[in-house]
Amino acid sequence: MMIRSVGCIALAALVSLFPATGSAKEPAKGLQSGDALGAFTVQKVGGATEDGVEVGESLCYRCKFQSRPMVLVFTRSTGDSVGKLAKELDSAIAKHEKQQLRGLVSVMGSDAKQATDVAKKFVESQGLKYLPIAIPSDIQTGPRDYRISPDADVTVVVAKEGEVVQVFTYKQSEVKAEEVIQSVEKMLKG
């Protein structure tokens, strides 16, 4: 038994001296253009008063939106720049009713209670008619398959037909609502 343990330790030490080479790729960081959007569960906190989903209800909005064009926002903060983005998206959803544009803001946090409290305050301050605000079941990281950067305060995914068109990552104070809306407009024209 002692020989086997020493042999394993020696093998591990030897392997660590020679980094792996070959065709193995590091996993991509975050979603990339062309990636498929997976399902994820959220709990609605507010907004989108006529979407048929009750506050407190858990569901997959991504699944509800199907292949429609959509903007998914994952945020760790709800400052002024995120509020501006939410209002711009709410207006864009109303403007692009014929194209069936959809959107969702998922508020992430250290725990569900904290994120729910932040999301509720955000809903009250924004008066959003078409854009739902929710908390994801993976409250700290967002959907695992989306690989949301822990360094980004805000991640915005623009998608259509179930695939990523473009991804934006921002620090809270650097959110560029105009940039996101331009991407949405371009997606809807294409």
- Coil, helix or strand at residue 159: strand
Asked whether the predicted pLDDT for residue 22 surpasses 70, the reply is no
For residues 12-36, give the mean pLDDT: 57
Structure tokens belonging to residue 53: 């989903």
Report the CATH superfamily, name and number, of domain 31-189: Glutaredoxin (3.40.30.10)
Residue 140, C-beta contacts closer than 8 angstroms, at least 6 positions apart? 108, 109, 110, 111
For residues 50-70, give the mean pLDDT: 97
Asked whether the predicted pLDDT for residue 95 surpasses 90, the reply is yes
Higher pLDDT, 185 or 3: 185
Distance between CA atoms of residues 26 and 10, nearest Å? 26
- Beta strand spans in the chain (E): 42-47, 58-59, 70-75, 102-107, 132-136, 154-160, 163-170
Q: How confident is the model at residue 28 (pLDDT cuts 50, 70, 90)?
A: low
pLDDT recorded at residue 190: 80
Domain ranges of the chain: 31-189
Distance between CA atoms of residues 178 and 184, nearest Å? 10
Contact, 44 vs 55, CB < 8 A? Answer: yes
